[in-house]
A = this chain, B = another copy of it.
């Protein structure tokens, strides 16, 4: 019944080739950056030769862009997620921020995407723009909305950070970068970091009773 059963082994492999290549490209571009990565490196990683890469992707540039598209899972759903939250705002914020940490710090794709934005942004300006539109804006908007709702509910203080949620999310981004640049050499205790961060945030934002 499955499509797989109707495809020959070769056909199955073939259908996966573009994704195999994009995955290999991701690893190589992460390791060496756009310019220093050779198309042949990517081919070797897949176990094919240069020519095969060009059979599926016109240019190295295109390959890079499609790889980015593949790893870029937009944050446009976080707003919907915030709406599913209920209970006291201290709990909602915790849940929301935990989700943010999971997606920003723990998701390798998102982490390395930030590396590409920083390292290749000058070469691929549209990558920076897309990152802003699909990641930063949705996340900040959702966070701000959550905060404003908390203020309206009388549970949060009307702090200036309500309007500049970057001041709160920022710590997660920085942790993401630390994980990215130090990898395993300097391990990061994400949970402890998250708890310490939450503690400051909640103490800093909760309305005095």
Contact = CB atoms under 8 A, between A and B. Distances in A.
Interface of A: 31-33, 35-36, 115, 117-123, 128, 131-132, 157, 159-161, 163-164, 166-175, 177-178, 180-182, 186, 192-193, 195-197, 199-205
Given A186-B132, A199-B160, A115 B119 contact: yes
State how many copies of this chain the complex holds: 4
A181 B36 contact: no
Contacts of A202: 204
Contact of A123 (B36, B157, B174, B193): B36
B200 A159 contact: yes
A201 B203 CA distance: 9
Chain A contact residues: helix, strand, loop or mixed: helix
Nearest to A206: B203
A141 to B, nearest CB: 15
A41 to B, nearest CB: 13
A36 B182 CA distance: 24
A132 to B, nearest CB: 7
